[in-house]
Structure 1
Amino acid sequence: MSHSHAVIIRTHASKGSHITDPPPDASLARQYGGNSAAGWLGRLPSSWLPFVQLARLSPPAAVILIFFPHLFGLLHAGIVDHKGPVCLLQAALLLLVGSFFLSNTVHAWNDLVDAPLDALVERTRNRPIPRKAITPLAAALFALSQGAGAALCLAFVPWLGGSPYAALYALPGIASFLYYPYAKRHTYFPQLVLGLSLSWGIIMGSMAAGRAPSHVDWPTLCLYLASTLWVMIYDTIYAHQDLKDDIKADIKSLAVLFQGRTKAALSVLLAAMAGLLVACGWLSGMGVGFYILAAGGATASLALMIVQVDLNSTSSCWWWFSNGFWLAGNAIAAGLFVEYVFAQGQHVSP
């Protein structure tokens, strides 16, 4: 079942009993299952653990997946509008905290809606709600509390010099996140919905840098669409972990739609993504660093992932997903950061 923000699975026994690891093969087959008890999680009070698992806080990949697009938008706006480093650093810290609360919110919401489907999929059937470690009411209250934290961060955007329209522009992103868990019931394109949802962070990052709504222009749109395709690529590979169970449960995804044609389809998406990154760079007047690191680095890492991943192997899909999104995301962020540093050297912000 496609859901890209989760954690390595381990079986959590009831309170008063011990925590055991599944056999190695089963652990690989259930990566990002949403019920990890590894590392520091094993030292938490048993009443806390299901909520931490619900939020996918270990490892923190879920938060970073949401933060990356916000960072892309923030850096791009900083380059184009010559924002000073103090302004960007303050906004980046606020967006990171906001990403933490947003990640917790959307994961709790997704698991709440997906609980009947999660129970049908081997990798996800031991998530906190299906295994009854958390009641639906408790999950809903947790989602609301985390949503309040995200809203509070959003309220601070104008206070730090961001756009006063930030809250208004957050609404489409919120709506798409709310719809996402239903998408797999209605369409074979839930990865597109997820990509549009996550990549909306680019718009919010731009707003946090103080861009006016009229300044969400063609370069920003190209970056937004490139990020959307990036998400679609890595999440389609992720979805192949559950392909057999998803087909049986009538859960829709691009993995189910493409099946034997997945690599060819992802190659087309990658070519479009590369073109959009180049267009973003050209329209924004970027330098060679952006083209080498962001466009070149992200394209090369994703091309390697598409070529090397064995879509019939759950462990291979997991490994390339967990490494591939980091490589491409860091490449885009590095390209934008290098360009920002160069731009700062050419222009002293008032």
Structure 2
Amino acid sequence: MRIFSSVQFPLHLSSYKTKTRLCCGYYILPHHWLPPRASHCKSYKRVTNTAIDLITSRKYALLPVRHITSSLRTLAPSSPLAPEPSPTPPLPNVTYSPPETGLISLLPRPWIPYAELIRLDKPTGTYYLFFPCAFSTLLAAPLASPITHALEIASVCGMFFVGALVMRGAGCTINDLWDRNLDPHVERTRLRPIARKAIPPRNAVIFTGAQLLVGLGVLLQFPTPCLWYGIPSLLFVAAYPLAKRVTNYPQFVLGLTFSWGAIMGFPALNIDFLGNTNAILAASSLYSSCVAWTVLYDTIYAHMDIKYDAAAGIKSIALKHEHNTKAILSALAVTQVTLLAAAGVAVNAGPIFFIGSCGSAFATLSTLIWKVKLKDVGNCWWWFKNGCWITGGGITFGLLGEYLAQVLGLYEASNSAIEERKDWDEPR
């Protein structure tokens, strides 16, 4: 065999069968537009069968074609060998109209596309990015000597929220730049600013740089170690859009990104990891717990676009495990709660944390997994949006209660009472 020439045959079909004269076999072609290579045998000038090597993303297949001469012609869709293209999910005919209500409607008209680009009208992602920061700050506060004051905790959490708002916007801009050729073909994303060409890619790149500079300014307000712990997270921010194209588990990359705040609370309160085993164990356990949480809720989010992602070649856990997603979610929930409890053990947390934070996380996640309807886009969105506050809020209140118990000395008073009771009960 030698390669005679290259030609692209637009075969768009769910499965195609053709019968060869020599072996009477069938070859099944997957649903792809395939770039084939025409390879002729040495006696290609004779009337014979000629095989076209079809290279797919997974395997090779052979489509026998008869009487291919030196003047190869493109196999047009109208050819008898090319069946009708399979249908793709239709998109409704919707045109963009500027928002008339809400915060974005109050902005000057030229600013609206940039506000939409950073999802200013959809703050759920900002909350998901902020909660790990709040978790780590409240978990680390009792480890400080003396215990961190409540006003300092409020100040640190406030700066973390500003940082979450800015960096979430930067991440959305980077993601939309990567997906600018895919978003127009997905119903939920087709009207995003870059997809509808309201913002040129060049302007979006400049805007990303400006957001990163603002994020750096916020990071510099924290103690110096936070700078060195925070910068590596940018690698994951840039890697997530690529991960959707190369792995079936991009949610883990997103988890590594969104959970980074679970580490940052410790250096923000001047708790150094070097030589502090309890701090290292607590931060690593909390970070891993938040990664599991992120994978869980983003898998639910991915179910909203599952039919479009399949057509566009975007990968996700929702696609890979479409028929056993709830089993995956259950395993992630158990992992999250277990690691959250391990973080509490590392800092010698009391019963308020284990009942309030771990107990509420287990109860709310169990309810979510039981109630969510993965085939219903609206239901998935409701649980994604409200699960942020239901689970994240429960964990936060448990940590806040634990912090107040430590500050007020409730555990010390309880331990003293127990010791006195033991002394009273001992025989004299």
Give the stretch that moved more between structures: 145-154 or 84-93: 84-93
Counterpart selection for 1:200 from 256, 260, 263: 260
2:209 counterpart residue number: 144
2:39 counterpart residue number: none
1:249 positional shift: 0.9
2:271 counterpart residue number: 211
Equivalent residues in 2 for 1:90-105, closer than 5 Å: 90-105=155-170
Q: Is the 8 A contact 2:252 2:295 kept in 1?
A: yes
- Number of corresponding residues: 312
Matches of 1:63 and 1:142, distance apart in 2: 18
Q: Is the 8 A contact 1:112 1:139 kept in 2?
A: yes
1:16 counterpart residue number: none
2:181 counterpart residue number: 116
Equivalent residues in 2 for 1:119-134, closer than 5 Å: 119-134=184-199
Matches of 1:115 and 1:79, distance apart in 2: 46
1:275 positional shift: 1.0
Matches of 1:255 and 1:262, distance apart in 2: 7
Counterpart selection for 1:180 from 231, 240, 249: 240
1:236-259: CA deviations, max 9, x gaps? 001000011111111001101110
Which protein, 1 or 2, shows the higher relative CO under an 8 Å CA cutoff with sep ≥ 6? Answer: 1
1:79 positional shift: 2.2
Counterpart selection for 1:232 from 288, 295, 298: 295
Task: Give the structure-1-normalised TM-score.
Answer: 0.85
1:311 positional shift: 0.6
1:246 counterpart residue number: 309
Matches of 1:155 and 1:145, distance apart in 2: 16
Q: Which amino acid in structure 2 is aligned with residue 196 of structure 1?
A: L
Task: Give the structure-2-normalised TM-score.
Answer: 0.70
More strand by share: 2
2:377 counterpart residue number: 314
CA RMSD of aligned residues (A): 1.7
Equivalent residues in 2 for 1:1-350, closer than 5 Å: 12-13=96-97, 19=98, 38-81=101-144, 82-158=147-223, 164-214=224-274, 215=276, 216-346=279-409
Q: Is the 8 A contact 1:11 1:37 kept in 2?
A: no
Q: Which amino acid in structure 1 is aligned with residue 292 of structure 2?
A: L
1:257-277: CA deviations, max 9, x gaps? 110100011101111111111
1:115 positional shift: 1.4
1:86 positional shift: 2.7
3-state SS of paired residue (1:322) = helix
3-state SS of paired residue (1:213) = coil
1:24 counterpart residue number: none
Q: Is the 8 A contact 1:121 1:245 kept in 2?
A: yes
Matches of 1:129 and 1:37, distance apart in 2: 20
Give the stretch that moved more between structures: 90-99 or 321-330: 90-99
Q: Is the 8 A contact 1:12 1:37 kept in 2?
A: no
1:281 positional shift: 1.6
1:30 counterpart residue number: none
Matches of 2:217 and 2:199, distance apart in 1: 26
Q: Which amino acid in structure 1 is aligned with residue 235 of structure 2?
A: A
Matches of 2:235 and 2:271, distance apart in 1: 22
Matches of 1:176 and 1:317, distance apart in 2: 25
1:208-235: CA deviations, max 9, x gaps? 1112132441122111111111111111
1:33 counterpart residue number: none
Q: Is the 8 A contact 1:233 1:269 kept in 2?
A: yes
1:72-115: CA deviations, max 9, x gaps? 11111112222222322221222122222112211111111121
3-state SS of paired residue (1:178) = helix
* Identical aligned residues as a percent: 37
1:69 positional shift: 0.9
Give the stretch that moved more between structures: 54-63 or 231-240: 54-63
Give the stretch that moved more between structures: 58-67 or 187-196: 58-67
1:3 counterpart residue number: none
1:42-71: CA deviations, max 9, x gaps? 232221111000011113222222111111
Matches of 1:232 and 1:74, distance apart in 2: 22
1:11 positional shift: 5.6
2:88 counterpart residue number: none
